[in-house]
A and B are shown apart, each in its own frame.
Chain A
Amino acid sequence: MALSNVLETPASGFNFENVSRNVALDGLLEGGHTKAPKPMKTGTTIAGVVCKDGVVLGADTRATSGEVVADKMCAKIHYISPNMYCCGAGTAADTEKTTDLLSSNLTIFSMTSGRNPRVVMAVNILQDMLFRYKGQIGASLILGGVDCTGNHLYTVGPYGSIDNVPYLAMGSGDLAALGILEDRFKPNMELEEAKELVRDAIHSGIMSDLGSGNNIDICVITKQGVDYIRPYQESEYKDKRQRRYKYRPGTTSILTEKIVPLELEVVQETVQRMHTA
Chain B
Amino acid sequence: MNTRGLRSQLKDSVPVTGMGPQVGAYGVQDTLRSGFSSVKNELLPSHALELSEKNFQLNQDKMNFSTLRNIQGLHAPLKLQMEYRAARQIQRLPFLQSSHLALDTLKGNDESISFEDILNDPAQSEMVGEPHIMVEYKLGLM
**Complex Cα distance A1/B128, Å?**
6
Which chain A positions have C-beta within 8 A of B128?
1-3, 6
Find chain B residues with CB under 8 A from A272 CB: none
User: Given A2-B129, A136-B49, does the pair A105, B94 have CB atoms closer than 8 Å?
Assistant: no
Stretch at the interface among B9-17, B71-79, B80-88, B111-119: B111-119
Q: State which of A15-23, A52-60, A200-208, A254-262 sits at the interface with chain B.
A: A15-23
A-B contact count (CB 8 A): 87
Docked-complex contact B133 and A7, CB < 8 angstroms? yes
Select which of B49, B112, B113, B117 is within 8 A of A12 by beta carbon: B117
A274 interface residue (CB < 8 Å to B): no
Min CB gap A153→B, angstroms:
22
Q: Which residues of A contact B111 (CB under 8 A)?
A: 108-109, 112
Inside 8 A of A8's CB, which chain B residues have their CB? 94, 129, 134, 137-138
Are B113 and A108 in touch, CB under 8 angstroms? Answer: yes
Task: Return chain B residues, CB-CB under 8 Å to A1.
Answer: 128
Q: Are A15 and B127 in contact (CB under 8 A)?
A: no
The answer to whether A6 and B127 touch across the interface, beta carbons within 8 angstroms, is yes
Contacts A19-B50, A104-B113, A134-B52 given; indicate if A9 touches B122 (C-beta within 8 A). yes
Is B7 part of the contact surface with A, judged by Cβ < 8 Å? no
- In the complex, what's the smallest C-beta–C-beta distance from A114 to chain B, in angstroms? 13
B122 interface neighbour in A2, A12, A16, A112, Cβ under 8 Å: A12
Q: Complex: how many Å from CA A61 to CA B116?
A: 31
The majority secondary structure among interface residues of chain A is: loop
Binding stretch for chain B, among A43-51, A67-75, A125-133, A217-225 = A125-133
0/1 per residue, B47-71, Cβ < 8 Å to A?
A: 1111011001000000000000000
Complex: how many Å from CA A203 to CA B52? 42
Q: Which residue of B lies closest to A127 (CB)?
A: B2
Give the complex CA separation of A123 and B48 in angstroms. 25
Q: When chains A and B are docked, how far (Å) is the Cα of A108 from the Cα of B127? A: 32
Decide: B2 and A2 in contact? CB cutoff 8 A.
no
Return chain B residues, CB-CB under 8 Å to A14. Answer: 49, 53, 115, 119-120
Could you tell me the distance between the alpha carbons of A1 and B131 in the complex, rounded to whole angstroms? 11
Taking a contact as CB atoms under 8 Å apart, the answer to whether B125 and A9 are in contact is yes
B133 and A4 form a contact (CB under 8 A)? yes
In the complex, the answer to whether A2 meets B131 with C-beta atoms within 8 Å is yes
Set of chain A residues within 8 Å of B112, measured between Cβ atoms: 105, 108
A11 within 8 A of partner (CB)? yes
In the bound assembly, the distance between CA atoms of A148 and B41 in angstroms comes to: 53
**A residues whose Cβ falls under 8 Å from a Cβ of B:** 1-16, 19-20, 23, 101, 104-105, 108-109, 112, 128-129, 132-134, 136
Given contacts A6-B128, A16-B46, A128-B2, 5 further A-B contacts (CB under 8 A): A2-B130, A5-B33, A8-B138, A10-B122, A14-B53
Give the top 8 A-B pairs by smallest Cβ distance, nearest first.
A6-B129, A19-B46, A20-B46, A13-B116, A19-B47, A2-B130, A7-B137, A16-B50
Q: 5 pairs across A/B with beta carbons < 8 Å?
A: A10-B127, A11-B120, A14-B115, A19-B50, A105-B113
